[in-house]
Structure 1
Amino acid sequence: MSKRIVVGTDGSVSAAAAVEWAVDDATRKKVPLHIVSVVERWPYSIARYPAPPDAGDTLVHAAERILADAAARALRHRPEATVTTEMIEGYPAAVLRDQEKDAAQIVVGSRGLGGFAGAMLGSVSGHVAGQAHCPVVVVRPDAEATHGEIVVGVDDSAECEPALAYAFEQALLRGATLRALHAWLSPRHGYVPGIPYDMDDVRRAQHQLLAQRLATLGGKYPRVTVIEDVQCAHPVDALTQASKRADLVVVGSHGRGTVGALLLGSVSRALLHHSSCPVAVVRS
């Protein structure tokens, strides 16, 4: 049985964008969409200032309304979709992360109702993207244009292989072009006399690396048009720039931390803050 796509909602504008993105993807993949709203029981309560007696009921009623609105939005957007809803009590980031066992992927808005004005990435989306083992897509509310291009970051690590497979699948399902972007920085001592760097050889090696990465998957997805894009630039700068003309940017994660969003690598974490389009973080 195919796994479902899970999307979290808190009634925010960002969550509404995530619901629409998720139902589109669920329809393309022909899998159910499961919408989750989390009830966090008076998170600021302390002994001296306990929660009001009816706070729990108020929060539950609000979550029910949010779920009903989200389901209606999804079905207006994609009437043919299969949509279920669930209200769960707990901490939002932990609840959404725990959905991974039944999820093909988790979709979240970039910033929820509790976010600071002007913040590009909320704590919940950062933690889910950093901790969940299934693909996590973070959606911004202002990324609505369709460009017909998927961008995937490629490097020489094993972490990029699941991201490449995910990106090929997205490009195939959407009928989009796949831009495989490999950004590299010049060797620090590349132009220092006496150190044997041949920059032409270095450039050729970067192109060969990308071609080798694409060789296997390209054969499995012959219908996907691939653009090989090799740039001498910082990966964050190159991917951020590419996101301006993309429908989705896909990255792996090199994070090896143990706390929250530290499990995100530096490139994926920075991209979540600066990308102009949705970002999929795909872990190995």
Structure 2
Amino acid sequence: MPTRLAARAACPVVVVRPIAGRGPFAGHVVVGADGSASAAAALRAGFAHAELHHVPLAVVEVDGRRPGGDFWFDDRFLETHFATVPAPLEALAGQVEPLMARHPEIAVKRAVYGGDPVAGLRRAAAGALLLVLGRHGRLLPAALRLGSVSRAFAEHADGVVEIVPDGGG
């Protein structure tokens, strides 16, 4: 079962299933970000993959306090796509901008989706080349290493998902 391997492996685990749907970030590497150490590891892996394969990157945070109203900011074209200005966009910029400075050739989009994190990431990653998610550290019992989002995608992903350990203890 992919969840057991994803929880126990010391290296990133990639779950490969057919890519389904076509969302706003089709053809991108999509990274789930929430400001945690495991999300930081996922961001580093996502940037590395996007750079290696010369594809754009979309960093998505899903805000469960927002019932809907997805929006994103395209850093290359300086375009913002939203109905109301969101507070989480600024926090997301703080997570992404240090990596953007080290990878200036990567086209980056920052997105904040509303609602349930699993449903939001499913919408964002529809048609993506890869969805990268983080996993908690090795010192936790294996049963606790996968959060609810990583576990949901390890069990039932549409497309290719990489689950990256945070590298911490």
TM-score by length of structure 2 reads 0.76
Q: How does 1:1-284 map to 2 (within 5 A)?
A: 123=1, 125-140=2-17, 142-143=18-19, 147-186=26-65, 203-204=86-87, 206-254=88-136, 258-259=141-142, 262-284=144-166
Amino acid at match of 2:112: V
Aligned-partner residue type, residue 227 of structure 1: K
The amino acid that maps onto 1:129 is: A
Q: CA deviation at 1:162?
A: 1.1
Shift of 1:144: 8.6
Q: Give the Å deviation of 1:281.
A: 0.4
Q: In the TM superposition, what whole-angstrom CA distance separates every residue of 1:35-80 from its partner, at most 9, and x where no partner exists?
A: xxxxxxxxxxxxxxxxxxxxxxxxxxxxxxxxxxxxxxxxxxxxxx
- Bigger drift between 211-220 and 228-237 goes to 228-237
Q: Distance in 1 between matches of 2:4 and 2:144?
A: 8
Give yes or no for contact 1:243–1:275 (8 Å, CA) kept in 2. no
1:240–1:274 contact (8 Å) kept in structure 2:
no
Please state whether the residue corresponding to 2:159 is helix, strand or coil.
coil
With over 3 angstroms needed to count, the CA separation of the structure-2 counterparts of 1:264 and 1:131, relative to structure 1, is same
2:154 is aligned with what amino acid?
A: L
Distance 1:184 1:254 in 2: 20
Q: Could you tell me which residue of structure 2 aligns to residue 84 of structure 1?
A: none
RMSD: 2.5
The answer for unaligned runs of 5 or more in structure 2 is 67-83
CA contact (8 A) 1:153 1:250 kept: yes
CA shift digits 1:173-225 (9 cap, x unpaired): 111110100111218xxxxxxxxxxxx89x32x11110000110000100100
Q: Which amino acid aligns with 1:161?
A: A
Distance in 1 (CA, whole Å) between partners of 2:48 and 2:61 is 19
Q: How many residues align?
A: 145
Question: What per-residue deviation string (whole Å, max 9, x for no partner) do you get for residues 114-151 of structure 1?
Answer: xxxxxxxxx2x2211111121111112x3399942110
Question: Which stretch shifts more, 146-155 or 243-252?
Answer: 146-155
Give 3-state SS (helix, strand or coil) of 1:252's partner: strand
User: What's the offset of the Cα at 1:167?
Assistant: 0.1
Deviates more, 1:230-239 or 1:248-257: 248-257
What fraction of aligned residue pairs are identical, expressed as a percent?
Answer: 34
Residue 106 of structure 1: aligned partner: none
C-alpha distance 184-144 of structure 1, shift in aligned 2 (>3 A): closer
Q: Write the distance in 2 (CA, Å) between the matches of 1:145 and 1:271.
A: 15
Offset of 1:273 from its aligned partner? 2.6
Rg bigger for which structure? 1
Q: Distance in 2 between matches of 1:282 and 1:218?
A: 19
More strand by share: 2
> RCO (CA 8 Å, sep 6+): is it higher in 1 or 2?
2
1:273/1:240 Cα in 2 relative to 1: closer, same or farther (>3 Å)? farther
Query: Any conservation in 1 of the 2:20–2:158 contact (CA below 8 Å)?
Result: no
Q: Which runs of 4+ in 1 moved over 3 A?
A: 143-147, 254-257
User: Structure 1 stretches of 5 or more lacking a match?
Assistant: 1-122, 188-199
Write the letter of the residue equivalent to 1:283: P
